[in-house]
Structure 1
Amino acid sequence: MRFPPILHVDFEDDALCLSWADGLVLRQPLSRYSQLQSATPEQRADFRIHPHGISVSWPHLGDADVGIDAFDWIWEHLCRESMGRLQALEWQLEQLPEDDQLIVALWRLEADGYNGGFLQFFCNWGEHCCELALKALVAIGARSTHAVVSRQRQLIGPLEDHPQLQRLWDIPELLSDEQYELIGGELDEQLWSAMEEVPTLAVKYFYAG
């Protein structure tokens, strides 16, 4: 099924508003897009919607194109909705429907993965959340991201029975210098690149429209 296209682009007082053919309407603060925030009404109106409605660009604004990706916006929306339901359940992840659990796990992988890498994600959220994230990556078809995260998880596996492992945040201290550099250096760099596939694949899988 063809993904519903962006139909309308509007500017409100301090927000950019996008509307999709299926009725979805999302807003983001203009402060996230400094060039649009400082643009004149005429410059803002000079936008182009991709022929398939998957992006919007302002090709004549500034030295480089200013662009909005529909999948990024909708993925952020889905994550915000699932995290809101998790908060309403007082952060009891297992009480969420399965799709929400998978979205939360992916959101945590992205948020911590981009911030501090795989070790931050795993040490903050543990084995169950990592398993959910891997399950979600398989479900949406994010093969590159799944391969990297699986490898990183495999590398910390031998520490499970280490006598000095009292809490998850002991893991970075128990890794050898070579292991730490592989997980947090080479593989994290691969992870950051691979995760670029997640928003589009996740939206196509989770978004019902």
Structure 2
Amino acid sequence: MKDNAIINVRFDADTLCLEWADGLSLNQPLTRYSRLQDASPQARAGFEVLEQGTSVSWPELGIKVEAVDWVWEHLCDAAMQRLHALDWDLERLTPVDQSIVALWRLEADGYNGGFLQFFCNWGDQTCTLALQALAAIGAHESHAVVSRQRQLIAPLEDHPQLETLWDIMQLLSDEQHEVISGELDEQLWSAMEEVPALAARYFYRR
């Protein structure tokens, strides 16, 4: 996203649209920003493009839109659509799309049910891709937490009672659950706030 500033902000009937210097145009429903939805045309026009064109603010309304979040969502949506078109066969995607999908799955499951839900849903391949992507984009805090969580379940790989990945849930001790799903998941939720901006800047136009 370097040197690609927001150059236009406009409103349609039910959407907010941002346009970038390179021609990218993205929309979000106004329901996502209730104060903008309820604002007068005059109040909506009172925006400022901030931080070298990477965000938009409405000071009087107390609203700030981080545009990199929109770009990251756009990249994830596009990669997931391509995955769907390939019958969900991850290995048929390009390496860039594989990385984006892995990060999207980590975010979606990580915020919903934590690391164990992510790993049990998608397995070691996607976890490895996510770790590689976190390292590539410079998300060092997220990488450290996920690496630690992965290490803690590694001893179960050869457990005789492990038939499916979801068996991990029953094979972990209460203490291990507390560390992985309590202490470390809380760290992960905080650390992953770094991902959208880093990922958008790294993967955009790749």
Fold conserved between structures, TM > 0.5: yes
1:107 is matched with which residue: 104, 109, 112? 104
Report runs of 4+ in structure 1 exceeding 4 Å deviation: none
Q: Distance in 1 between matches of 2:45 and 2:170?
A: 54
- Offset of residue 121 of structure 1: 0.3
Partner of 2:59: 59
Give the secondary-structure state (helix, strand or coil) at the position aligned to 1:52. Answer: helix
Partner of 1:124: 121
* Structure 1, 87-96 or 38-47: larger mean CA deviation: 38-47
Unaligned runs of 5+ in 2: none
1:21 aligns with 2:18: no
- Offset of residue 110 of structure 1: 0.3
Q: Distance in 2 between matches of 1:194 and 1:3?
A: 26
Q: Distance in 2 between matches of 1:207 and 1:36?
A: 28
Q: Distance in 1 between matches of 2:199 and 2:157?
A: 31
- Offset of residue 16 of structure 1: 0.4
Partner of 1:50: 50
- Offset of residue 2 of structure 1: 3.1
Q: 1:27 to 1:101 in 2, by over 3 A?
A: same
Give the secondary-structure state (helix, strand or coil) at the position aligned to 2:57. Answer: strand
Q: Distance in 1 between matches of 2:177 and 2:167?
A: 12
1:166 aligns with 2:163: yes
Q: Distance in 1 between matches of 2:192 and 2:124?
A: 20
Partner of 1:154: 151
Higher relative contact order (CA closer than 8 Å, sequence separation 6+): 2
Partner of 1:39: 39
Contact 2:83–2:93 (CA under 8 A) maintained in structure 1:
yes
- Offset of residue 38 of structure 1: 1.0
Alpha-carbon RMSD: 1.1
- Offset of residue 3 of structure 1: 3.4
Give the secondary-structure state (helix, strand or coil) at the position aligned to 1:22. Answer: coil
Give the secondary-structure state (helix, strand or coil) at the position aligned to 2:75. Answer: helix
State the TM-score, normalized to the length of structure 1. 0.96
Contact 2:2–2:201 (CA under 8 A) maintained in structure 1:
no
Give the secondary-structure state (helix, strand or coil) at the position aligned to 2:169. Answer: helix
AA partner of residue 148 (structure 1): V
Q: Distance in 2 between matches of 1:3 and 1:89?
A: 34
Q: Percent of aligned pairs with the same residue?
A: 67
- Offset of residue 15 of structure 1: 0.5
